[in-house]
Amino acid sequence: MRAHAVLELLAVDDFDAALTAGLLDAPACVTCEPRCNALLAAARDAQLTALAARDRHRARDARLRRRKAEREAARVPKALPTQTPALPAAAADVLARALAKARTPR
């Protein structure tokens, strides 16, 4: 009898209610004519195909978003140091002497 309830819902184009009533796992009715069971099987197959397509679309969308984020992360330049490191004291002394020597007239 569940197959009949699902078919009645499909007849009025209420797919949500048909899914809730068990469209995807409704058994074929043994007392019905073959056309009735064929309609149920066709509706079930169409819904399974649509659900599979939706899953593939969602997976593709997630994959594209992940790839885009990876590309954008690769484009961001590495952070440069904000300051140049200070010279060691010995190097600063050598530089100061060289500058003083260069500035004195000969």
pLDDT tens across 26-57, in order?
A: 888 788 788 888 888 898 999 999 999 999 99
**Dist. CA 74–CA 17, nearest whole Å:** 47
CB atoms within 10 A of CB 31: 8
Residue 30 backbone phi and psi in degrees, to 5? -75, -20
∠ Cα 37 29 48 (to 5°): 50
Check whether 87 has a pLDDT greater than 80.
no
Check whether 62 has a pLDDT greater than 90.
yes
Q: Rounded to two decimals, what is the model's pTM?
A: 0.59
State the number of CA atoms in the 13 A half-sphere of 64 facing the CB: 6
**Which helix or strand (DSSP H or E) is residue 31 part of?**
none
Q: How confident is the model at residue 63 (pLDDT cuts 50, 70, 90)?
A: very high
Average pLDDT, the chain: 86
Kindly state the DSSP code that residue 83 receives in the 8-state scheme.
S
Cα of 65 vs its chain's centroid, Å: 5
Q: How confident is the model at residue 66 (pLDDT cuts 50, 70, 90)?
A: very high
Q: What is the pLDDT of residue 56?
A: 98
State the number of CA atoms in the 13 A half-sphere of 98 facing the CB: 6
